[in-house]
């Protein structure tokens, strides 16, 4: 364990505005100073930028032409992980994958409005969902839960996969917020998921996958 002086110096460094940049993501609050105001360059190719930022965060991304290729990606991943149980949102586009997953020896359970789905999701090897939006500048997913779209699917399985149309990838976080503002407000539950789960203890040691999936995949379709 670091001595008291070293520990406090480390805290000061990591909280000093403009002195600490924990990832290669674009400038944000922790890099903003009066001498260096926040700026965000124009993102010309949002899908490519999204995949780049996701990889920086430790996630995995793939761009495919259509849902058949997305299905093949999910099936190949299930085989690679030795998955036996997959839970998914109750979404029509994801239903197409059930037959191929069954052929690969994977049981598929669909999230529905059950009183408690946590027990099933906690045993699953893979969680599969869509997303409302992707955000290119941070590699984030915007997830809206609701009927057929339980949060446990995206949080409890160790491997999580999101299938997202490329036309749902926005450039910036403010752009995503503006979409909700223009639509008259937020849904009941909106979450921003950015890469694999990360947890830092008091010594600033980073652990992956403690409070959520440690293995995150996004398939951009189109």
SS3 of residue 74 by DSSP: helix
Per-residue pLDDT tens over the stretch 107-136: 999 988 556 688 888 899 999 999 999 999
pTM for this entry: 0.77
Low-confidence residues in the chain, pLDDT < 70: 1-4, 7-8, 11-41, 113-116, 184-185, 197-212
How far CA 165 is from CA of 93, 141, 152, 162, 169, in Å, comes to: 11, 12, 22, 10, 8
Query: What's the confidence (pLDDT) of residue 169?
Result: 96
Q: Which class is domain 43-221?
A: alpha beta
Query: What's the confidence (pLDDT) of residue 29?
Result: 45
Distance CA 97, CA 11 (A): 47
Per-residue pLDDT tens over the stretch 6-19: 766 776 666 555 55
SS3 of residue 214 by DSSP: coil
Distance CA 121, CA 85 (A): 9
End-to-end CA distance of the chain: 50
Query: What's the confidence (pLDDT) of residue 114?
Result: 59
Domain ranges of the chain: 1-39, 43-221
Burial label, 191 (beta-carbon count in 10 A; 0-12, 13-18, 19+): middle
Query: What's the confidence (pLDDT) of residue 209?
Result: 45
18 alpha-carbon distance from chain centroid: 26
Cα–Cα nearest to 186, from 141, 142, 139? 142
């Amino acid at each position: 364990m670091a001595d008291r002086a070293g520990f406090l110096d480390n805290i000061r460094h990591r909280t000093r505005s403009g002195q600490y940049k924990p990832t290669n993501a674009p400038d944000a609050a922790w890099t903003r100073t009066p001498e260096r105001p926040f700026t965000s360059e124009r993102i010309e190719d949002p899908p490519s930028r999204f995949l780049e930022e996701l990889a920086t965060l430790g996630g995995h991304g793939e761009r495919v032409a259509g849902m058949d290729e997305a299905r093949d990606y999910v099936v190949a991943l299930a085989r690679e992980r030795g998955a036996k149980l997959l839970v998914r949102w109750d979404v029509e586009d994801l239903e197409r994958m059930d037959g191929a997953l069954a052929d690969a020896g994977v049981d598929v359970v669909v999230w529905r409005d059950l009183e408690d789905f946590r027990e099933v999701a906690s045993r699953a090897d893979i969680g599969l969902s869509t997303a409302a939006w992707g955000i290119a500048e941070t590699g984030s997913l915007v997830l809206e839960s609701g009927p057929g779209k339980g949060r446990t699917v995206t949080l409890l399985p160790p491997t999580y996969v999101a299938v997202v149309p490329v036309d749902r990838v926005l450039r910036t976080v403010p752009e995503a917020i503006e979409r909700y503002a223009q639509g008259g407000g937020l849904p009941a539950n909106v979450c921003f998921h950015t890469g694999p789960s990360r947890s830092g203890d008091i010594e600033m040691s980073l652990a992956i996958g403690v409070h959520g999936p440690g293995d995150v995949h996004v398939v951009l379709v189109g």
